[in-house]
Amino acid sequence: MIKKQRNINFGAAILFLIFSVLFFVLLFRFFFIQATGEVKGQVLAAKAEQQYTNSTKIEAKRGTIYDRNGEVIAEDRSSFSLIAILDEDMTTDLDKPNHVVDLKKTASELAKFIDLKESKIFAILNDGKEKGRFQVEFGAAGRDISYETKNKIEKLELPGIAFTRTMKRFYPNGIFASHVIGYTETKEDKNHKTAIVGKLGLEKSLNDVLTGTDGSFKFESDLWGYLLPDGKEQITPARDGKDVYLTIDRKIQILLEDALNKVDKEFKPKKMIAIVADAKTGEILAMGQRPTFDPETRQGIEKGWYNEAVETSFEPGSTMKIFTLAAAVEEGVFNPNEYYQSGTYAVDSKSRKVPDHNGGGGWGSITYLEGVQRSSNVAFAKLANEKMGFDTFREYLTHFGFDQPTGIDLPNETNGKLAYTYPIEKATTSFGQGTAITPIQQVQATTAVTNGGNMMQTHVIDKIVDPNTGKTIKDTKPEVVGTPISAKTATEVRDYLETVVTGENGTGKKYAIEGYEVTGKTGTAQIPGKGGYLTGASNYIFSFLGMAPKDDPELIMYVAVQQPDLTNNSDGAVPVSMIFNPVMKSSLQYLQIKPSGEKPAEIAKVPNVIGLSSSEASDVLTEKGINPVIVGNSAKVVSQIPVKDEKLLAGERVVLKTDGDLTVPDMTGWSIRDVMKVAEAANLKLNSVGNGYVVKQNVKEGAVIKEGEFLIVELNDPETILNREKEAEDEEETDEVEVKD
């Protein structure tokens, strides 16, 4: 018994000792924490503040990409996804249910707003309910819902229907300079934060510029996350990404995309490239290619990742002759009336002969100007070798920028590859064979021909603006990057090249545009293959590098079509002209460039009738054989087009503007030249469709119109008008017969 008591006392002593040690350890720990304020290296005060401080991210907006006129090309927009909550536990008040109650009604209402049949929506809801799911979504049809559609659905107050919000990059124009603009993807980092990242084109190269900085909203809260009445708030504003304004003109780009689509559908070429540039500044107004892709869906991206105009070099063919001609004219060695023997040309005794493109047959002894018109390889090889000398010609290739990238503000620009070692390579370079250059190099070099000898830097970025401050942080100005030729040479070269389009022997007849003088050069480039060049009528790159109007160029346009299907048409110029002609003409009209036309026979000088009454002015003009047109409903004439002393054809119209409301005359049967007079007098924006004479107008005769509004006219050639009238007469006759029966 005594032994047992000793054991108990010993055990009690051990427990007392253990608890005493624990007490002193805890006491020491307490004083240590109180003294240092740290636990395991973490400051408790900060930890407590973190626990009772909530933070909400303020999402920054990615910068918007605009065209030159402020039209949106790419922007961030709120995108909403539709969800349906099915869990009945979400409803605490039966009068205000938070889950879908009536599946059939819900399906019926939602079918009015999303692209799913009512039966499919009901099946999704019913399947989710049977499987006990908390919520269901509706696939692609329930994603990317606009703000307007979301509001309409919310107004229905359907129980259990809700939305999740995300930011998405939106491209409102669809396929639109896609390889220039690029596209974005939403990426998730290791911290599960998502961000929109550019993956191609300007979206990628300007990603740092376009990406903004997220802000935050911090506030003190209680244990349950509610804002404390006297809690501190800290707001760090988001800084949106910079806005980028391009030189691209939306209207011209759409014209180009439509023309490319038409040729792509009819001729199914392997590739197409087209560029429209401002002839005076080097600004790129439009740039497109096929194959292409939709930047929003990325459909078609697998067919081509490269911007063919900038990232691919190839043998240009005869469009290169523009610059050989310019060099020869500048050196004073081009005599348009001098004769030479066409057919073949031996550069030296060791090299193969240079043949003309008609199999080396040539056209006998012809002038150098005819050689330009016929695109004679022999003529240009002789100009480079005998007239200038290959060393001098090589210097001009550098002056025109063919041995270095242009420096255009687009990513991944490649350089040309000048093959200029052997005499035969030097000769073939003069007419665009053997040497490879990029389309953008050709366009930039052409600005010297259109701009008085000054070669302009090509660019697509007009300016970059900080939307947070409104400050312009980059403003691109026209920049001269070389003067390879003189202004006199530039004028002469355009005059010579005009005969390629208008001359009897010209290869560019298909590129003539009614009302405008076009100057330029055709190209038919061979395509390298295994063991030599490909053969066959379609195995070429057909191209045209044109400028208009000839005397004062406003636009440069380059078009190249590779390997079109010419089964039903042996002329490769047809698909090229189907792009060049409508885009060039419509662009010139859109830019309000007056047609040149033929010079009229002079019959009378226009008198000054400003200040007269409209009736008095009409009498004065009629006496001189001039047709007056009144624009306005008041008496006094305040302006006239054409102005005093200009000479006109008999019956040509003079537009008189009065000081009253502007009214529009009936322009049926008018030429585009006369229509433009009305547009100028009334300060209207003119759009025209077709060629020939007016058959329709968007504003009725006598209707009042305000300055700055659109005047749209449809034109047809006389033959089409006559055919339509004949068809109408035939229909009337048919109707009469039917009535008699």
pLDDT tens digits, residue range 650-665? 566 888 888 878 888 8
CATH architecture of 604-722: 2-Layer Sandwich (3.30)
570-579: pLDDT as tens digits? 689 999 999 9
User: What pLDDT score was predicted for residue 287?
Assistant: 98
DSSP summary character for residue 606: P
Task: Rank 164-168, 218-222, 582-586 by mean pLDDT and report only the highest.
Answer: 582-586
* Segment (H or E) for 619: helix 614-623
Strands 243-246 and 65-66: parallel
169 or 645: whose pLDDT is higher? 169
Domain ranges of the chain: 2-50, 57-245, 252-590, 604-722
Give the distance from CA 185 to its chain's centroid. 20
User: What pLDDT score was predicted for residue 13?
Assistant: 72
- Statement: residue 481 has pLDDT above 70: yes
Q: Are 91 and 99 in contact (CB under 8 A)?
A: yes
- Statement: residue 737 has pLDDT above 50: no
DSSP summary character for residue 226: P
512-569: pLDDT as tens digits? 999 899 999 999 998 888 878 888 888 999 999 999 999 999 999 999 999 999 887 6
Phi, then psi, of 38 in degrees rounded to 5: -125, 150
For residue 17, name the pLDDT band (cuts at 50, 70, 90). confident
Q: How far apart are CA 353 and CA 351, in angstroms?
A: 6
284-307: pLDDT as tens digits? 999 999 999 999 888 999 998 999
User: What pLDDT score was predicted for residue 23?
Assistant: 72
Q: Are 635 and 658 in contact (CB under 8 A)?
A: yes
Q: How far apart are CA 308 and CA 273, in angstroms?
A: 7
Q: Would you call 366 helix, strand, or coil by DSSP?
A: strand
The DSSP string of 286-309 is EEEEES---TTT-TTGGG--S-HH
User: What pLDDT score was predicted for residue 727?
Assistant: 54
The DSSP string of 228-269 is PTT--EEEE--BPPPEEEES--HHHHHHHHHHHHHHHHHH--
CATH architecture of 57-245: Alpha-Beta Complex (3.90)
Mean pLDDT score, 165-180: 89
DSSP summary character for residue 385: I
Give the distance from CA 327 to its chain's centroid. 33
User: What pLDDT score was predicted for residue 297?
Assistant: 87
Shortest CA distance to 59 belongs to which of 30, 79, 86, 84?
A: 79
Strands 653-658 and 627-631: parallel
Shortest CA distance to 215 belongs to which of 194, 236, 234?
A: 236
Mean pLDDT score, 397-414: 96
* Segment (H or E) for 47: helix 44-51
Here the tokens at position 733 are 């006759």
User: What pLDDT score was predicted for residue 205?
Assistant: 95
User: What pLDDT score was predicted for residue 45?
Assistant: 46
Q: Are 711 and 699 in contact (CB under 8 A)?
A: yes
Number of helices (H), then strands (E), belonging to the chain: the values are 21, 35
Q: How far apart are CA 626 and CA 593, in angstroms?
A: 24
Tokens 């061979």 belong to residue: 526
User: What pLDDT score was predicted for residue 732?
Assistant: 45
- Statement: residue 734 has pLDDT above 50: no
Here the tokens at position 678 are 């009305």
User: What pLDDT score was predicted for residue 506?
Assistant: 94
Q: How far apart are CA 31 and CA 9, in angstroms?
A: 33
327-360: pLDDT as tens digits? 999 999 999 999 999 999 999 988 899 999 999 9
104-114: pLDDT as tens digits? 999 999 999 88
Mean pLDDT score, 198-211: 94
DSSP summary character for residue 444: H
Q: How far apart are CA 519 and CA 507, in angstroms?
A: 12
Contacts of residue 270, Cβ cutoff 8 Å, sequence gap at least 6: 562, 563
* Burial bucket for residue 58 (CB in 10 Å: 0-12, 13-18, 19+): middle
* Segment (H or E) for 197: strand 194-198
77 to each of 62, 167, 344, 440, how far by Cα in Å?
9, 6, 63, 33
The full length of the chain comes to: 741
For residue 234, name the pLDDT band (cuts at 50, 70, 90). low
Name the strands in the sheet holding 710-716, side by side, starting at the edge strand that comes first in the sequence.
Answer: 685-689, 710-716, 693-697
321 or 223: whose pLDDT is higher? 321
32-69: pLDDT as tens digits? 556 555 555 444 444 444 444 455 666 788 999 999 99
| 706 CB neighbour count, 10 Å cutoff | 10
Here the tokens at position 530 are 């295994």
Q: Are 484 and 493 in contact (CB under 8 A)?
A: no
User: What pLDDT score was predicted for residue 570?
Assistant: 66
Q: Are 485 and 265 in contact (CB under 8 A)?
A: no
For residue 16, name the pLDDT band (cuts at 50, 70, 90). confident
Of the candidates 178, 313, 318, 430, the residue annotated as catalytic is 318
Strands 344-345 and 339-341: unpaired
Here the tokens at position 593 are 């460039």
Q: Would you call 143 helix, strand, or coil by DSSP?
A: coil
Task: Rank 89-103, 272-286, 650-664, 716-730 by mean pLDDT and report only the highest.
Answer: 272-286
Model pTM score: 0.71
Here the tokens at position 477 are 């100005």
384-402: pLDDT as tens digits? 999 999 999 999 999 999 9
Q: Are 175 and 257 in contact (CB under 8 A)?
A: yes
Contacts of residue 598, Cβ cutoff 8 Å, sequence gap at least 6: none
* Burial bucket for residue 7 (CB in 10 Å: 0-12, 13-18, 19+): exposed
Here the tokens at position 561 are 């079509």
416-473: pLDDT as tens digits? 899 999 999 999 999 999 999 999 999 999 999 999 999 999 999 999 999 988 999 9
Alpha helices by DSSP H, listed for 279-417, are: 308-311, 321-330, 368-373, 377-382, 390-399
Q: Would you call 211 helix, strand, or coil by DSSP?
A: coil
- Tell whether omega for the bond before 642 is within 30 degrees of 0, i.e. cis: yes
What average pLDDT is seen over the chain? 85
- Statement: residue 18 has pLDDT above 90: no
User: What pLDDT score was predicted for residue 29?
Assistant: 65
252-590 has CATH 3.40.710.10 classification: yes
- Statement: residue 632 has pLDDT above 50: yes
Whether 20 is catalytic is no
Shortest CA distance to 137 belongs to which of 104, 160, 170, 166?
A: 160
701 or 75: whose pLDDT is higher? 75
Q: Is the dihedral of CA 704, 708, 709, 715 positive or negative?
A: positive
Angle of the 487-502 helix axis to the 439-450 helix axis, nearest 10: 110
Here the tokens at position 581 are 């002609």
Q: Are 236 and 77 in contact (CB under 8 A)?
A: no
Shortest CA distance to 250 belongs to which of 281, 211, 279, 276?
A: 276
Phi, then psi, of 53 in degrees rounded to 5: -120, 120
Mean pLDDT score, 668-682: 80
| 632 CB neighbour count, 10 Å cutoff | 21
